[in-house]
C-alpha cells in the first residue's frame, strides 16, 4: 500500500494515499443521522436540523468567522486562506468539497442538513490530503460539538470507534471558538 507523510501542527504522520476509511466513515455518520433512535425526539431533531439556502449561508458565515475555524486551518498547515470557502448549491446533488476551497451542497426539497455542511467544511478545514482519515474525523467532531451539540459529537465518535476508526484528540482541535 502506498503511503504519504503529512505534517499536522508540526508532527509528522503516515497515512495511506487511498481513502481507505471512507466507507466506514459514511456508515458511521449515516447510522447516527438517519437510523439512530438514541435520545429524545428533540435531540433527534437537532441531529437532523434542516435549513434553507439563506439559512445555510448564514450558518456557514458563523462557522468560518469563528476562531475555531481559523485554528483548524492553521493546525492543518493550510494557513489563512480567506474569509470563507466558495459555496455552490445544486438541486438534488450529492455534497462534496473540492481542494480549491469550494463546497458543493445538494439541496433536496429546498433544504440542507447542518451535519452535511459540517462534514464538507471539515474536509476544507483540514485539507484534501486527509480525506476521511483521523484528522478529518477529529475536525468534524470538533465542528459538531461547537456548532450542533456535544451529545451528537459523542454519538458520532462512538460509531466511529465501533467501526474501528480512531479519533485521537489533537490539542489545537480542542480550542474553543
* Grid cell locating 54: 439563506
What pLDDT, on a 0 to 100 scale, did the predictor assign at position 146?
93
**Can you tell me whether residue 164 is helix, strand or coil?**
coil
What pLDDT, on a 0 to 100 scale, did the predictor assign at position 173?
52
What pLDDT, on a 0 to 100 scale, did the predictor assign at position 125?
84
Q: Contact, 154 vs 36, CB < 8 A?
A: no
- Residue 56's contacts (CB-CB under 8 Å, 6 or more residues apart) are 87, 89, 105, 112, 117
Around 3, how many Cα atoms within 13 Å sit in the side-chain half-sphere? 6
**CB atoms near residue 60 (< 10 Å):** 22
- Residue 174's contacts (CB-CB under 8 Å, 6 or more residues apart) are 142
pTM for this one?
A: 0.78
What pLDDT, on a 0 to 100 scale, did the predictor assign at position 27?
85
What pLDDT, on a 0 to 100 scale, did the predictor assign at position 176?
43
Length of the chain: 177
Closest residue by Cα to residue 89 from 115, 110, 107, 116: 107
Closest residue by Cα to residue 117 from 157, 172, 70, 64: 64
pLDDT (tens digit per residue) in 15-45: 555 567 888 888 888 888 877 666 677 766 6
Give me the residues of the chain with pLDDT under 70, please: 1-19, 36-39, 43-47, 78-84, 92-102, 170-177
Amino acid at each position: 500500500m502506498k503511503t504519504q507523510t503529512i505534517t499536522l501542527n508540526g508532527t509528522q504522520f503516515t497515512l495511506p494515499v487511498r481513502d481507505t476509511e471512507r466507507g466506514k466513515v459514511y456508515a458511521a455518520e449515516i447510522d447516527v443521522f438517519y437510523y439512530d433512535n438514541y435520545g429524545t425526539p428533540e435531540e433527534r431533531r437537532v441531529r437532523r436540523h434542516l435549513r434553507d439556502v439563506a439559512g445555510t449561508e448564514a450558518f456557514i458565515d458563523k462557522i468560518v468567522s469563528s476562531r475555531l475555524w481559523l485554528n483548524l486551518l492553521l493546525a492543518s498547515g493550510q494557513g489563512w486562506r480567506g474569509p470563507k470557502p466558495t459555496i455552490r448549491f445544486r438541486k438534488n446533488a450529492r455534497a462534496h468539497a473540492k481542494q480549491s476551497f469550494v463546497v458543493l451542497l445538494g439541496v433536496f426539497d429546498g433544504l440542507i442538513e447542518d451535519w452535511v455542511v459540517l462534514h464538507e467544511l471539515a474536509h476544507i478545514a483540514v485539507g484534501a490530503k486527509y480525506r476521511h482519515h483521523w484528522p478529518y474525523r477529529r475536525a468534524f467532531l470538533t465542528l459538531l460539538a461547537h456548532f450542533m451539540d456535544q451529545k451528537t459529537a459523542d454519538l458520532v465518535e462512538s460509531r466511529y470507534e465501533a467501526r474501528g476508526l480512531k479519533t485521537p484528540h489533537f490539542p489545537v482541535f480542542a480550542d474553543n471558538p
